[in-house]
Amino acid sequence: MSITEAVPGPKTRIRNKLVPGTIEHARAIPYYRELWADRPGATAVGTVADLTALPVVGKYEPAGGMAVVGHPDRTPSVLMHSSGTTGHPFTRYRSAEEVQELSALLSSLNARARERMDEARPIVHLSTISKRHHGNSIGALAVERSVTLGLLSERDLVKALGLLRRPQLFPDLTDPLIQLSGTPDDLVVLAHAVQEAGLLDQLRPRTVTALADYLTDGHRDFLAACFPDARIVHRYSLSEVVGGATRCERCGLFHFDVHVVPQVLSLDGEQSLTSGVGRLVLTELFPFSQYQPFIRYDTGDLVEVFESPCEPGEVSVALVGRRAHIPLVEHAGRQVPVFRPIALRGALESLPELQRGPMHATIAPYDVLPGSAPRAKAEFHPATPGAPARLELTAVTAFAPHLFPRQAEELRARVREVVLGSSPELRELAAAGVCELDVRLTGDRRAADPFTVRGA
């Protein structure tokens, strides 16, 4: 039985109640009215499952895409902008009504979480990124106090450590509950600096939340070792979309927030998938998005969809990588991703002999201390009449390979093994002779930048 045929889970039942209002509200927007005009089934969308009758949209397409969406009866009050894959900035507006609705939802979720934890202490939220971003993604709007620890320069880090040296962050709070959030790289730099300064006992966060980029297992393990009392939370979110997903400690998959609808579509069409790799499409629900609601928005992320025992009847996913970074080949009658960038990065990180990028571009000693993504690149060469397709993986070693030829050869074999292990599709393509894997090691760090899996 597929997810859509199964009895909907509790989240889908709540979303089903919000879908009719979402569609009615969106019909007042000229863009959607015109886009949906000739779609059969578009007039009868009443549930999450019915959303499949509606076309998929992007930032700029079709016909201007989300960039031209604006509800005539709402006033934009908040402006956020991000740069898209194409590099031109994308403008995202929110109305006061939706900001208020979202804030109320997050407050009530926070209150319930606090009840479950049986925790009455006031919360102090420390973050390396601005409140607006995490306000959208993790609900920091509902905490009592927040402190932004910008980590742009060495002075910022010195200031952050200075704050932690104080006996109390706020004069009236003797024993607050500390939450810490930031990008994975910032969290790792901060944790390392706090550890080096002998201040780990001062900080002791209850939760450490990684957002805006992928938290690899290696980084997660480091944070868990620095903060043994903390729950390490890994969020999937996009700055332009209300709602995201949290990685589950039990099943390892991402489960989505109730106020956003996840759907996974086939790589070569708009067929809904209940298993396998596809495109992640998100729908924001009314009243949490009002001025510029995204309905069936293609996130640009590829995911593998599962039905997890944690959330029967719901879509749960493993992240595969950005569509723009993933070559596809035709194999056994379907489109197949040649490799999985996120799993590949994790696999390369498991090998300490591979060189890593510096932890931070501008803060000493992290500008030279390795610890960010491995320096590696994957280049795909399509099949030619005389040769099969080829994936060329270049990885920079942390030692001089010409001085240690035996170790270099051993490492090459291990890189090959972990790369194939990170992607079942590549393993199958290589075994079938459809795509060869060619691993190249070099000691020249100019050969490859740190391997990024998010961003554009």
Q: How far is the CB of 288 from Zn ion (least distance, A)?
A: 23
Residue 266 or 308 having the CB closest to Zn ion: 308
Q: How far is the CB of 343 from Zn ion (least distance, A)?
A: 18
Three-state DSSP class for residue 273: coil
Q: How far is the CB of 245 from Zn ion (least distance, A)?
A: 11
Residue bearing tokens 């979402």: 22
Of 121-129, 144-152, 197-205, 242-250, which segment contacts Zn ion by CB under 5 A?
A: 242-250
Residue 56 or 251 having the CB closest to Zn ion: 251
Coarse DSSP helix, strand, coil percentages of the chain, rounded to the nearest 5 percent = 35, 25, 40
Residue 150 or 312 having the CB closest to Zn ion: 312
Of 29-37, 245-253, 372-380, 439-447, which segment contacts Zn ion by CB under 5 A?
A: 245-253
Of 32-40, 62-70, 241-249, 398-406, which segment contacts Zn ion by CB under 5 A?
A: 241-249
Of 10-18, 251-259, 260-268, 379-387, which segment contacts Zn ion by CB under 5 A?
A: 251-259
Q: According to the binding rule CB under 5 A, does residue 116 interact with Zn ion? A: no
Which letter, b or e, does each residue of 199-231 get, where b requires 16 or more Cβ atoms within 10 Å of its Cβ?
ebebbebbbbbbbbbbbbebbbebbeebbeebe
Distances (CA, A) of 299 to 89, 186, 302, 431: 16, 24, 8, 31
Residue bearing tokens 């106020």: 259
Distances (CA, A) of 429 to 193, 318, 329, 383, 420: 44, 21, 9, 12, 10
Residue 243 or 401 having the CB closest to Zn ion: 243
Residue 116 or 250 having the CB closest to Zn ion: 250
Among 250, 402, 406, 446, binds Zn ion (CB under 5 A): 250
Residue bearing tokens 């930031």: 182
Interface pattern 282-311 for Zn ion (x via CB under 5 A): --------------------------x-x-
Omega before residue 89 within 30° of 0, cis:
no
Q: How far is the CB of 248 from Zn ion (least distance, A)?
A: 3
Q: According to the binding rule CB under 5 A, does residue 251 interact with Zn ion? A: yes
Three-state DSSP class for residue 375: strand
Cα separation, 66 vs 295, whole angstroms? 9
Using CB under 5 A as the binding rule, the residues of this chain from 304 to 363 that contact Zn ion are 308, 310
Omega before residue 167 within 30° of 0, cis:
no
- Look at residues 245, 297, 284, 300 and name the one whose alpha carbon lies nearest to residue 95: 284
Residue 260 or 393 having the CB closest to Zn ion: 260
Cα separation, 109 vs 258, whole angstroms? 11
Q: According to the binding rule CB under 5 A, does residue 199 interact with Zn ion? A: no
Residue 196 or 249 having the CB closest to Zn ion: 249
Omega before residue 401 within 30° of 0, cis:
no
Q: How far is the CB of 102 from Zn ion (least distance, A)?
A: 24
Of 47-55, 215-223, 250-258, 388-396, which segment contacts Zn ion by CB under 5 A?
A: 250-258
- The one-letter code for the residue type at 428 is E
Number of chain positions touching Zn ion (CB under 5 A):
5
Of 130-138, 221-229, 248-256, 363-371, which segment contacts Zn ion by CB under 5 A?
A: 248-256
Q: According to the binding rule CB under 5 A, does residue 248 interact with Zn ion? A: yes
Q: How far is the CB of 311 from Zn ion (least distance, A)?
A: 7
Of 63-71, 110-118, 249-257, 333-341, which segment contacts Zn ion by CB under 5 A?
A: 249-257
Q: According to the binding rule CB under 5 A, does residue 406 interact with Zn ion? A: no
Cα separation, 41 vs 349, whole angstroms? 47
Give me 85's structure tokens.
Answer: 């894959």
Judged by the rule CB under 5 A, the positions of this chain that interact with Zn ion are: 248, 250-251, 308, 310
